Structure 1
Amino acid sequence: MTTHTGTASGVQPKEPGTPGTSGTPGTTVAGPRGVPVLGNLPQFGKDPLAFFEGLRARGDMVRWRFGPKPSLFLADPEHIGELMRETEGTFDQPELGIAFRTVMGNGVVVARGQDWRRKRSLVQPSVRPKQVRSYAATMAECAVELADQWSGGERIDIKREMAVLTQRIAVRTIFGADIGADAEAIGRAMDVAQREIGAEFSGIGALLPDWVPTLGRARIKRASAVIDAEVARVVAQHRQGDGERPDLLSRLLTAQDETGARLSDAEIRDETVTLYIGGHETTSSTLVWAWYLLAREPRVRQALTAELERVLGDREPGFEDYARLTYAQSVVKETLRLYPTIWLLTGVAREGASIGGLPLVAGTRVWSSQWATHRDPRWFPEPEEFRPERWNPDGGDEIPEYAWFPFGGGPRVCLGARFAMVEAVLVLAVLARRFDLDVDPGEIRPVPSLTLQPDREVLATVRAR
């Protein structure tokens, strides 16, 4: 039977009666009882979101086991901030499994140490505010093209519509409007990969060695082969072209590190896939959940409409409007609070690592969950309510740092965070200015895979405003 005390759980023994305050050894509590070898993996795999909420209810530092590995769950934003800030310091990026690596390769999200620092320095210039500004017109243009196709009374699947839209934006901003990848083929392959990564991570596959063949791993390999072929084709076309292009891929192809070296073909592939997932999968999911929440809360929808009429009138939004669309930003932030696209982050303790003054045994896996922390009533009163006003800079809630971390934080914060926020706000502004989407009644549940996805189609009736 799995134990939950002392070094068996990856936590150094603490002095009895030590308070769990910052700067002193923290207080930990035991999580749910596990089973031999698997630990708490069966409970985690059954419903990861409920599992983390259950751990949060037990305390701010909870010991559990991911298979045979000692793990520590963090619920307090101060401790979560320590983990985020110390990743690449006293915490390592964890091994994310063969399924994840097959799709993501060794891109900036996966890489570690000096390799990660080099890749970050090469990728970061492509998504700086100046560059995001240049992509904003493409974001709005693609949203307008979709709006022109909708008509009042039409029935749509919001999930599919947002996926097609964000695919188009990703293809144009990453690959260039004139030389596009086969977005439909890549989209299908990404859907397969995302589903299988989620299934492996929360199931027995998480404990299997990389060399063990499974049907899910075979499907991921086939999907990854499609992605590889499309990216290779577009990269080859870019290299044969003349002149500088304004897309992300062209910037990656010309980026040089401090030695003058450029990214290899394999590295270009990995970073392109990373940017594609960041620019398509995450934003698509956020927009679907936003429409779902807006349909369930007419008061918020009316407030959004009022801002769009005040700021935009009868024109389409541009990058300059992003800063003025403060309520639309709050809608997106509140959507990311309730349905964070990335729903967990982890780190692995190095020798000498600690959290909240609590020494950790090297190798302990430390977990934080956006889903659980974002719904903690200590930081978000009435946490289940969709209330964008809590983000109002004048009179909103006092939200501790790292109580909201949909893009992570610290040195490994998501490079595409601003890209994603601008894209979501501009797309929402274009479409919500013209239409209401009356989502069919019924609850839609989140499915934690690579990102947090709806469990079914999100059907709605388009109503012209």
Structure 2
Amino acid sequence: MTTCRIPLAPVPGPRGLPVLGNLPAFGRDPLAFLERLRDDHGDAVLWSLGPRRSVFLSHPQHIAEMLAAREHTYDILDIGWAFKQVVGESVIMSGGADWRRKRSLVQPTVRPRQVRTYAATMVDCARSAADGWRDGERIDVRRQMALITQRVVLRCLFGNDLGDATGELARAMNVAEHEIGAELRSVSLFLPGWVTTPARRRLRAAVATIDAEVTRLIRARSGGAREAGYTAGGGPGGGEGRDDLLDRLLAARDEDGLPLSPREVRDEAVTLWAAGHETTSTALTWIWYLLSRHPSVRERLDAELDRVLAGRPPTIDDHDRLTWTQQIVKEALRLYPPAWLLAGVAREGAVLGGRRVPPGTVVWCSPWTTHRDPRWFAGAGEFRPERWDGGGSGDVPDHAWFPFGGGQRTCLGARFAQVEAVLVLAALAQRFRLDLPDVEVRPRVGLLLLPSAPLCATLRAVT
């Protein structure tokens, strides 16, 4: 377990309102509010989101200690009724023995060996999209990236594009993402589940659409993994077998030989789908925005693609040689981390920086504020992929960059997401530039950090 050498000395933050605490100020502009906590108060700031006592951490050592201890001395924060409706009791919402069991069953589906088998699908989906693009055409960047990553995750997760259901499911997931983000910023975060609002009716309808299709697929497959001779270690007879995540979830067995229940499979499948689709499409959207504003970075990307790929499509074996492409992805994740806020609820025995944390305290940290802290990154607000030259981080301390969390609860799909972003970017950038208007776009806070305005780009074919 990580032990912090920096003493924790929490200081009072801005005065809040009765009952609501700092929720109104936070809800108006969460990113600016968290930046003020860091800049005006310090590395450990007391504040309140509603009636709950909270502390916000900005120092990487405190963050590393908290994330390393989350499984042992922190409970999962209930971040609202809406989020729970979508992900259910999946691994990201579980704790203790239940979390360890589910993690052991889900993790093998996204290990590096398995990610290798999905790489060709990632490239194929990107190239298929590019086949439909035309020089001079205008596109909505986020929509196009979402279509690509959705095809990737649906093919890797369910083994196909789901035909006519694909568009309906995408719309349902977009509604769910929007309503989760809206609830997080409003007083409805504290409403009991039985309270019905228009937003909750919209979410229920979206979740019903998602559940109907995912349940249909699970029922169609149930028994299929067993009949095909699947084992927990892979495909038939321990080999590779069918390469989609759903069959692997159905085939998984815990140490007692028990499978995930149909509801558990549903929760893990939907969580993998939402995380794999939305986070990567959001990251790719910001990458195109940054490349359009930094021509010299794009020129170096073109040179690397020409040198490494020489006109052929990228493969998983090219991934490690596409070093500049990886640096672009890493730097974009620093500036625009899709998951912008993390938290845990302290149990009895929680300690940070040698100081006891009162049980029930919500301990928060934000990749957005830490990634943009000038103490850890020179020119913190600037897009500089070269800061990651050599694959290392130089003088950047541990957990000054943590877009996928940290500790044992690091995002299980981190490797999948990073490989997908690199290969999709390479496959598309081989063939097109995306020219965007030279206008600064701020992020809009929801469940993820999305552009606050549509990003419409003009396609320019690479010759």
**Counterpart in the other structure of 2:170:** 187
**Counterpart in the other structure of 2:421:** 424
**Which sits farther off after the overlay, 455-464 or 283-292?**
455-464
Residues 347/395 of structure 1: CA separation in 2 closer, same or farther (3 Å cut): closer
Q: Tell me the SS of whatever aligns to 1:392.
A: helix
Residues 216/395 of structure 1: CA separation in 2 closer, same or farther (3 Å cut): closer
How far is 1:199 from its partner? 0.8
**Counterpart in the other structure of 1:139:** 122
Q: Tell me the SS of whatever aligns to 2:382.
A: coil
**Counterpart in the other structure of 2:406:** 409
From 8, 11, 14, the counterpart of 1:32: 14
How far is 1:394 from its partner? 6.8
How far is 1:23 from its partner? 4.7
Looking at structure 1, the residues matched to 349 and 255 of structure 2 have their Cα atoms a distance apart, in angstroms, of 31
Looking at structure 1, the residues matched to 375 and 191 of structure 2 have their Cα atoms a distance apart, in angstroms, of 38
Q: 1:356-367 to 2 correspondence within 5 Å?
A: 356-367=353-364
Residues 328-385 of structure 1: CA deviation (Å, up to 9, x unaligned): 0110010100000000100111112111112111000000001100000001110111
Q: 1:119-268 to 2 correspondence within 5 Å?
A: 119-177=102-160, 182-239=165-222, 243=228, 244-268=241-265
From 367, 370, 376, the counterpart of 1:379: 376
How far is 1:437 from its partner? 0.5
Residues 167/179 of structure 1: CA separation in 2 closer, same or farther (3 Å cut): closer
1:332 and 2:310 aligned: no
1:47 and 2:44 aligned: no
Looking at structure 2, the residues matched to 28 and 203 of structure 1 have their Cα atoms a distance apart, in angstroms, of 26
**Counterpart in the other structure of 2:80:** 97
Q: Tell me the SS of whatever aligns to 2:390.
A: coil
Looking at structure 2, the residues matched to 90 and 178 of structure 1 have their Cα atoms a distance apart, in angstroms, of 41
1:76 and 2:62 aligned: no
How far is 1:443 from its partner? 2.2
Looking at structure 2, the residues matched to 397 and 373 of structure 1 have their Cα atoms a distance apart, in angstroms, of 16
RMSD of equivalent CA atoms? 1.6
Q: Tell me the SS of whatever aligns to 1:366.
A: strand
From 296, 301, 317, the counterpart of 2:298: 301
**Counterpart in the other structure of 1:348:** 345
Q: Tell me the SS of whatever aligns to 1:381.
A: coil
Q: Tell me the SS of whatever aligns to 1:250.
A: helix
Looking at structure 2, the residues matched to 155 and 23 of structure 1 have their Cα atoms a distance apart, in angstroms, of 52
Q: Tell me the SS of whatever aligns to 1:173.
A: helix
Name the amino acid aligned to 1:65: S
- Verify the 8 A CA contact 2:6 2:61 in the aligned structure 1: no
- Verify the 8 A CA contact 2:444 2:452 in the aligned structure 1: yes
Q: Tell me the SS of whatever aligns to 1:378.
A: coil
Q: Tell me the SS of whatever aligns to 1:383.
A: coil
- Verify the 8 A CA contact 2:22 2:47 in the aligned structure 1: yes
Looking at structure 2, the residues matched to 117 and 395 of structure 1 have their Cα atoms a distance apart, in angstroms, of 31
Residues 159-184 of structure 1: CA deviation (Å, up to 9, x unaligned): 11001111111110000037668221
1:391 and 2:392 aligned: no
**Counterpart in the other structure of 1:278:** 275
**Counterpart in the other structure of 1:12:** none
Residues 198-230 of structure 1: CA deviation (Å, up to 9, x unaligned): 111111012222222222112111110000001
Q: Tell me the SS of whatever aligns to 1:88.
A: helix
Identity %: 56
Unmatched tracts of structure 2, length 5 or more: 229-240
Looking at structure 2, the residues matched to 94 and 41 of structure 1 have their Cα atoms a distance apart, in angstroms, of 16
**Counterpart in the other structure of 2:235:** none
How far is 1:396 from its partner? 5.7
Looking at structure 2, the residues matched to 440 and 103 of structure 1 have their Cα atoms a distance apart, in angstroms, of 35
**Which sits farther off after the overlay, 101-110 or 440-449?**
440-449
Q: Tell me the SS of whatever aligns to 2:343.
A: strand
- Verify the 8 A CA contact 1:339 1:452 in the aligned structure 2: yes
- Verify the 8 A CA contact 2:80 2:190 in the aligned structure 1: no
How far is 1:440 from its partner? 2.3
Looking at structure 2, the residues matched to 320 and 107 of structure 1 have their Cα atoms a distance apart, in angstroms, of 32
How far is 1:59 from its partner? 0.4
Looking at structure 1, the residues matched to 75 and 139 of structure 2 have their Cα atoms a distance apart, in angstroms, of 44
Residues 304-328 of structure 1: CA deviation (Å, up to 9, x unaligned): 1111111111100000001111110
Residues 194/453 of structure 1: CA separation in 2 closer, same or farther (3 Å cut): same
How far is 1:196 from its partner? 0.6
How far is 1:404 from its partner? 0.5
Looking at structure 2, the residues matched to 25 and 179 of structure 1 have their Cα atoms a distance apart, in angstroms, of 53
Looking at structure 1, the residues matched to 287 and 389 of structure 2 have their Cα atoms a distance apart, in angstroms, of 18
- Verify the 8 A CA contact 2:116 2:316 in the aligned structure 1: yes
Q: 1:445-464 to 2 correspondence within 5 Å?
A: 445-464=442-461
Residues 10-34 of structure 1: CA deviation (Å, up to 9, x unaligned): xxxxxxxxxxx95575222211111
Q: 1:3-18 to 2 correspondence within 5 Å?
A: none
Looking at structure 2, the residues matched to 394 and 417 of structure 1 have their Cα atoms a distance apart, in angstroms, of 17
Residues 71-107 of structure 1: CA deviation (Å, up to 9, x unaligned): 0000000000011000011111212221110011010
Q: Tell me the SS of whatever aligns to 1:273.
A: helix
Looking at structure 2, the residues matched to 186 and 22 of structure 1 have their Cα atoms a distance apart, in angstroms, of 44
Q: Tell me the SS of whatever aligns to 2:363.
A: strand
Looking at structure 1, the residues matched to 11 and 104 of structure 2 have their Cα atoms a distance apart, in angstroms, of 40
Return the TM-score normalized by structure 2. Answer: 0.93
Looking at structure 2, the residues matched to 82 and 53 of structure 1 have their Cα atoms a distance apart, in angstroms, of 21
Unmatched tracts of structure 1, length 5 or more: 1-20
Looking at structure 1, the residues matched to 284 and 93 of structure 2 have their Cα atoms a distance apart, in angstroms, of 26
- Verify the 8 A CA contact 1:71 1:366 in the aligned structure 2: yes
- Verify the 8 A CA contact 1:158 1:288 in the aligned structure 2: yes
Name the amino acid aligned to 1:295: S
Residues 339/394 of structure 1: CA separation in 2 closer, same or farther (3 Å cut): closer
